[in-house]
Amino acid sequence: VNDLLVKIRNGSFRAIARAITQIENSDDAAMAIVSKLYKDGGHAHIIGITGPPGAGKSTLVNELAQLFAANGEMVAIVAVDPSSPFSGGALLGDRVRMLDLSNHPRVFIRSMASRGNLGGLASATAAVVHVFDAAHFDSILVETVGAGQAEVDIANNAHSTLVIEAPGMGDDVQSIKAGILEIADILVVNKADRRGAMRTAKSLEMMVDMGQAIGFGHHMPLALRKEMGETLASQTWRTPVLQTVANKGEGIKELYDVIGSHRRYLESSGEWRAREENRSRREMERLLQERFFASFQDVVPEAVRTDLVKAVVRRELDPYGAVNHLFERYKR
Ligand SMILES: Nc1nc2c(ncn2[C@@H]2O[C@H](COP(=O)(O)OP(=O)(O)O)[C@@H](O)[C@H]2O)c(=O)[nH]1
Ligand SMILES: [Mg+2]
């Protein structure tokens, strides 16, 4: 393991690939690796990219990565698919499209699929991000298929969150979930070569204007940030709406520049620290939940849990009462 860690710190792609496989296969391996490497990280800009399937996220990420690499940066792409329990599966298309990057010396691409439980995938993704960070990658692009909670988890794991939309996916303002706007630092209308792009962009602009008043664009509610003693009054970020044609490389340079501006904004406003704190807290809480539940499963036999489920179905017991039983059993 120590040999592996040294190689990761030196940026060996093979060592990184091996570490990621170990993380995917076992929580204990993830713990062993992250506990040794964590102190080496803290420099990478973690960029989350989310949005509905087919919006062009992978194409866009591919283009962005090439630009990062052309500027001498080390860049990692992590494509996460919470909807697919099969390794590869839905992401195979991504792999094929990303082939032109697969041999680039400064670009590392990895896809991760769910093994059935979302929490596990989120934790594994966070661990993989720590590995890239320790291996001195400058930017880590995390692509997730928009699937509700997963988007929010990604946003909580990223410094900057890009939400990619495409025209014709319902131009109604209502069809674009408010939750999405809440997590977006940068909004992108991709497929700007298609009809209705301008209209989608205008709708988004309007929603940004409305949301601005209630503190969207920050992961933490305004009240909480005030509580933390931050003085953000003079510095605010207005979520920009950009248009791109990813498959033709149009608008990518502008997007790249805006991502850089957002990083500088985070650093100069104090928001970077606030987000680091938010990220760390979420990650710890998730790990704690996983640990508690694993410990619970160890202590209380499956048969006991099944019996209680049956009792609830028969209405001999209510769900709260059943959980009381389970909890008492656990504490004994
Ligand atoms: N017309 C058009 N097609 C695009 C654009 N960007 C991506 N595509 C195509 O849209 C399809 C879905 O792209 P993909 O990147 O896999 O979307 P993802 O599911 O969001 O990752 C692919 O066939 C792309 O070639 C664009 O700007 N304009
Ligand atoms: Mg994709």
Which tokens is 156 given?
């909580």
Q: Beta partners for 107?
A: 75
Max CA distance (Å), the chain: 66
Tell me which range, 100-114, 121-135, 166-180, 198-212, is most confidently predicted by mean pLDDT. 121-135
Residue 135 CB neighbour total at 10 angstroms: 24
pTM: 0.87
Ligand 1 contacts CB of residue 44 (under 6 A): no
DSSP letters for 11-39: T-HHHHHHHHHHHHH-HHHHHHHHHHHGG
Whether the pLDDT of residue 84 is over 80: the answer is no
Give the tens place of pLDDT for each residue, 294-320. Answer: 999 999 999 999 999 999 999 999 999
CA dist., res. 230 & res. 225, Å (int): 6
Banded pLDDT at 25 (limits 50, 70, 90)? confident
The amino acid sitting at 62 is: N
Q: Is residue 288 within 8 Å of residue 294, measured between CB atoms?
A: no
Give the tens place of pLDDT for each residue, 163-177. Answer: 999 997 654 555 556
Length of the chain measured in residues: 332
Whether the pLDDT of residue 147 is over 70: the answer is no
Question: Which of these ranges, 91-100, 150-159, 192-201, 236-245, has the smallest mean pLDDT?
Answer: 91-100
Phi, psi of 190 (to 5 degrees): -85, 175
* Residue predicted with more confidence, 11 or 149: 11
Which tokens is 260 given?
């850089």
Residue closest by Cα to atom 7 of ligand 1 = 56
Residue 65 CB neighbour total at 10 angstroms: 23
Residue 219 CB neighbour total at 10 angstroms: 21
Q: What pLDDT is attached to residue 121?
A: 82
Average pLDDT, the chain: 85
Ligand 1 contacts CB of residue 162 (under 6 A): no
Distance from the alpha carbon of residue 56 to the mean position of ligand 2, in angstroms: 7
Ligand 1 contacts CB of residue 83 (under 6 A): no
Q: What pLDDT is attached to residue 100?
A: 62
Q: What pLDDT is attached to residue 316?
A: 97
Q: What pLDDT is attached to residue 51?
A: 87
Ligand 1 contacts CB of residue 54 (under 6 A): yes
Ligand 1 contacts CB of residue 56 (under 6 A): yes
Ligand 1 contacts CB of residue 276 (under 6 A): no
**Ligand lying nearest the CA atom of residue 51:** 1
Atom of ligand 1 nearest to the CA of 245: 27
